[in-house]
Amino acid sequence: MNLHRALKELKEKGHKYTDKREDLLRFFYEHNGYRTARDVKIMMEDKYPGISFDTIYRNLHLFVDLGLLEVTELEGEKHFRMKCESKHHHHFICLDCGKTKEIHTCPMQQVSGELQDYSVENHKFEIYGKCPACK
Amino acid sequence: MNLHRALKELKEKGHKYTDKREDLLRFFYEHNGYRTARDVKIMMEDKYPGISFDTIYRNLHLFVDLGLLEVTELEGEKHFRMKCESKHHHHFICLDCGKTKEIHTCPMQQVSGELQDYSVENHKFEIYGKCPACK
DNA sequence: CGTTAAATCGGAATCATTCTTATTTACAAA
DNA sequence: TTTGTAAATAAGAATGATTCCGATTTAACG
């Protein structure tokens, strides 16, 4: 998902363009990894002093609903990142900087046999550690 | 992990025996699945009116530290279950009742090649949906 | 029994997140 | 360009899970 396409999609779905939304999306576009609402707030406060958490969360969730961002829960806090372009995959997540690396192994094919009578709704496979830069 | 061994371990590590601790462990022993602190509180309030969340959380975390319970984060809330006996595996988790099914597929072997320069600390693979009873 | 550290209680505090109400703004239509 | 309207925002209160704190109680050991 690139910035231009994300903004276009926003408009097409009938949502308004605001500088805050562009900056928020750009923030994620420029960072290949997961960030929290708090991270976003700190980044935004320079340009928009007094921006409220409400605005940030509202937009983050809107963007998740529109498929522009992805969300995962990490240590009791929601973390967001730009939606990946490529086909289904999982992530290594650096616990220091939040940067991610795509993992192209998905265990769900092998698993299906074990869950005959179950209705599977979704799954989560994440690997945590330190990236080369933070190690 | 069975109840008797859990209580024995508690004692051996220098912790005190209390009825509350036994009941708490029994609760998990008798339920093959994840439960929240709130679930525990509701269960305990019959016998111990006025039991505090502090006591429950303190014990839950103590038990996790001792390896008697496992914990996972689900929809912004910590969920606990009796520590599994068997070797490394993952879980299907029913989003209705919290019951689990062991999944004996672990993708980490295939993944190692993708993470040469990374330091891997842990990983999470969980499958969510409805169990046959709740479906 | 008496001592003592551990456990508990009760309630305040914290942290992430959501809600409420009033105000402002983007943008479409006149 | 002006204006009407729904959407977006601000500010702060409210919520829900979890943790902390000070005072009190209790298990366990000698």
Residues of B whose CB is below 8 A from A126: 123-124
DSSP symbol at B33: B
- Express each pLDDT in B80-128 by its tens digit: 999 998 889 999 999 999 999 999 999 998 898 899 999 999 999 999 9
Q: How much is the pTM?
A: 0.91
- On chain D, which bases lie within 7 A of the protein's CB atoms? 7-13, 17-21, 26-28
C-alpha distances out from residue B10 to A5, A29, B31, B63, B68, Å: 57, 49, 20, 8, 9
Distance in angstroms: CA A18, C1' C23? 17
- What is the model's pLDDT at position A20? 96
- What is the model's pLDDT at position B49? 93
| Interface test with chain B among A101, A105, A112, by most B beta carbons within 10 Å | A105
Residue with tokens 């969920």: B79
Written as six digits, the tokens of B90 are 């993952």
CB contact under 8 A, B92 and A115: yes
- What is the model's pLDDT at position B78? 96
Instruction: Work out the pLDDT band at A111, boundaries 50, 70, 90.
Output: very high
Three-class secondary structure of residue A125 per DSSP: strand
Q: Is the pLDDT of residue B1 over 80?
A: no
Dist. CA A95–CA B108, nearest whole Å: 18
- Express each pLDDT in A51-89 by its tens digit: 999 999 999 999 999 999 999 999 889 999 999 988 899
More confident residue, A57 or A2: A57
CB nearest B132 (choices: A117, A120, A123): A117
Residues of B whose CB is below 8 A from A78: 76
- What is the model's pLDDT at position B112? 87
Strand-by-strand arrangement of the A100-103 sheet: A100-103, A90-94, A119-130, B119-130, B90-94, B100-103
Q: Are the C-beta atoms of A40 and A24 separated by less than 8 Å?
A: yes
Distance in angstroms: CA A54, C1' C20? 11
- Express each pLDDT in B49-69 by its tens digit: 999 999 999 999 999 999 999
Residues of B whose CB is below 8 A from A105: 107, 110-111, 114
Residue B100 makes CB contacts below 8 A (sequence gap 6+) with B32, B33, B34, B81, B91, B92, B93, B94
Does B122 contact A at CB distance below 8 Å? yes
DSSP symbol at A86: S
Q: Nearest CA to CA, how far is A115 from chain B (Å)? A: 8
Average pLDDT, chain A: 94
CB contact under 8 A, B125 and A130: no
- Express each pLDDT in A116-127 by its tens digit: 999 999 999 999
Q: How far apart are the first and last CA of chain B?
A: 28
Dist. CA A8–CA B51, nearest whole Å: 54
Q: Which of A70-74, B3-7, B65-69, B70-74 has the lowest mean pLDDT?
A: B3-7
Residues of B whose CB is below 8 A from A135: 117-119
Dist. CA A122–CA B132, nearest whole Å: 16
Residue of B nearest to A111 (CA): B105
Three-class secondary structure of residue B45 per DSSP: helix
Give the DSSP H/E element, type plus range, for residue A16: none
Strand-by-strand arrangement of the B69-74 sheet: B35-36, B77-82, B69-74
Q: Are the C-beta atoms of A124 and B125 separated by less than 8 Å?
A: yes
- Taking the C1' atom of every nucleotide in all shown strands and the CA of A55, the nearest one is D9
Distance in angstroms: CA B36, C1' D18? 12
- Taking the C1' atom of every nucleotide in all shown strands and the CA of B13, the nearest one is C6
- Taking the C1' atom of every nucleotide in all shown strands and the CA of B15, the nearest one is C6
